[in-house]
A = this chain, B = another copy of it.
Amino acid sequence: MTLASDQDNGTPPPGYTDNKPDHLARLHKVEGQVRGITRMVGADRYCVDVLTQISAATHALQEVALALLDDHMRHCVTNAARSDPPACEEKLAELAVALRRTLRL
C-alpha cells in the first residue's frame, strides 16, 4: 500500500474529492478523541466515563463511513452506471462487500 496520491498514476480522483476537507476535519477530530481516550485510561479514569467517550468516537467514525458511502454512490457508482455498465457491476459488488463490513454482518 502506497500513501502517495492515486492521482499520480492517472487514476480518477475519488468520489469524495468535493467533501475532502470535511472528511479530513472529522478524522482529525476522531484522532483527538482516541488520544483523549488513551489519556483517560492512562489516568485511571472511571470505566463508564471511558466507555462514553469510546461510544462517541465510534459514532464519529461511522459518520465518516456514511459520508464516504454517500460520496461513493453519488460519484463513482452513478458515473459508472452512465458510462461503463460492466464497471458499474463491479462497483456494486464491491459496495455490497463494503456495506456488509460496515454493518458488521
Contacts and interface: CB of A to CB of B under 8 A. Distances in A.
Q: How large is the interface on A (under 10, 10 to 19, 20 to 34, 35 or more residues)?
A: 35 or more
Given A31-B34, A41-B24, A78-B92, A105 B13 contact: no
Interface of A: 3-7, 11, 13-17, 20, 23-24, 27-28, 30-31, 34-35, 37-48, 50-52, 54-55, 57-59, 61-66, 68-74, 76-78, 81-82, 88, 92, 94-105
Contacts of A47: 14-16, 68-69, 71-72, 76
15 contacts: A3-B43, A4-B43, A5-B44, A6-B45, A6-B46, A15-B47, A17-B44, A20-B44, A28-B38, A54-B102, A55-B98, A55-B101, A70-B96, A73-B95, A99-B99
